[in-house]
Structure 1
Amino acid sequence: MNFETTNHDGKLLVTLQESRLDAALAVRFKSALKELVDDGTEHMILDMSQVDFMDSSGLGAVVAHMKYMGADKTFEICGLTPTVDKVFKLTRMDSVFSIAVDAASALASDQDMAG
C-alpha cells in the first residue's frame, strides 16, 4: 500500500499512490489507515486523485475506515477521479462522505463534522 502523508495544521492529508483500490489492497488499506488513527490522527483527508479504479471491496474499506474513525474525529475525501466518483454516486455514498474537489479545497475548508 503506497501512500504519502503530510500534516497541515492538524489535518493529516493521506495521498493514495495506487491506481486501484480493490479487493487486493482493501485489507492493507484499512490496516495502514487504522495505524494513522491509532497514532492520534483526529482529522484525516484522503486524497484519491491517483485512484482510477475502485471496486466494492475498496468502497467497503473506505466506509469501514470512516466508521473506525467514529463521530468524534473528522474524515474527508478529495480528488475523486471520474470513474471513482461514479462509484460514490451510484452507491449514494457521495451523500454520506464529505467530498472535496481536490486537496487544496479540503485543506482550506473548516470542516469540523465527522462524516
Structure 2
Amino acid sequence: MSLTSTVADGAQVVTVNAQRIDAAMAIQFKEDMRTETETGAQRVILDLSSVEFIDSSGLGAIVAAMKQLGKDRKLDLAGLTPMVDKVFRLTRMDTVFDLYATLQDALDPEHAAN
C-alpha cells in the first residue's frame, strides 16, 4: 500500500496511491495510515481519487483510521470515484464521513463542512 502525505491549507492530505483497498490490503492500509497520521493537523483529508474499488475490509480500515485519529481530529474523504462513492452511500458511511467530489472541494473553505 502506498500512501503519500502533504500539508495544504492547514490540513494533512493523505493520498492513496493504489487502485484497490480490499481484504488483501486492509491491514497494511491501517498500519500505513497510523504511521502517516501519528502527528499532524487536526483535519486529515484522505484523497481516494486513484481508488477504483473498495470492499467491506477496506471500508473497515478507513473507519479504523478515523478512530485512530481520536476525538479531537477529523477525517474527511475526497475524490471518491463513482464505484467507491456508491459503496460509502449504500453502507450509510456518508453519514459518518464528510465526502467531497474532489480534493480541491475539500480544501475550499466554501465547500468545507462545519
**Pair in the same fold by TM > 0.5:** yes
Question: Shift in Å at residue 109 of structure 1?
Answer: 2.9
> What is residue 26 of structure 1 aligned with on the other side?
26
> What is residue 83 of structure 2 aligned with on the other side?
83
Q: C-alpha separation between the residues in 2 aligned to 1:52 and 1:112?
A: 25
Instruction: Please tell me whether the aligned partners of residues 9 and 107 of structure 2 are also in contact (alpha carbons under 8 angstroms).
Output: no
> What is residue 46 of structure 2 aligned with on the other side?
46
Q: Which consecutive segments of 4 or more residues in structure 1 shift more than 2 A?
A: 39-42, 109-113
> What is residue 17 of structure 2 aligned with on the other side?
17
Gaps of 5+ in 2: none
RMSD (Å) for aligned C-alpha atoms: 1.6
Q: C-alpha separation between the residues in 2 aligned to 1:38 and 1:17?
A: 19
What pairs up with 1:86-101 in 2 under 5 angstroms?
Answer: 86-101=86-101
Taking structure 1 as the reference length, the TM-score comes to 0.89
- Deviation by residue 1:25-84 (Cα, 9 ceiling, x = unmatched): 111111111112223342210010110000000000001111111220121001111111
Taking structure 2 as the reference length, the TM-score comes to 0.90
> What is residue 105 of structure 2 aligned with on the other side?
105
Q: C-alpha separation between the residues in 2 aligned to 1:86 and 1:112?
A: 20
Relative to its length, the structure with more helix (as a share) is 1
Q: Could you say if the C-alpha distance between residues 17 and 112 of structure 1 is closer, same or farther in structure 2, counting changes exceeding 3 Å?
A: same
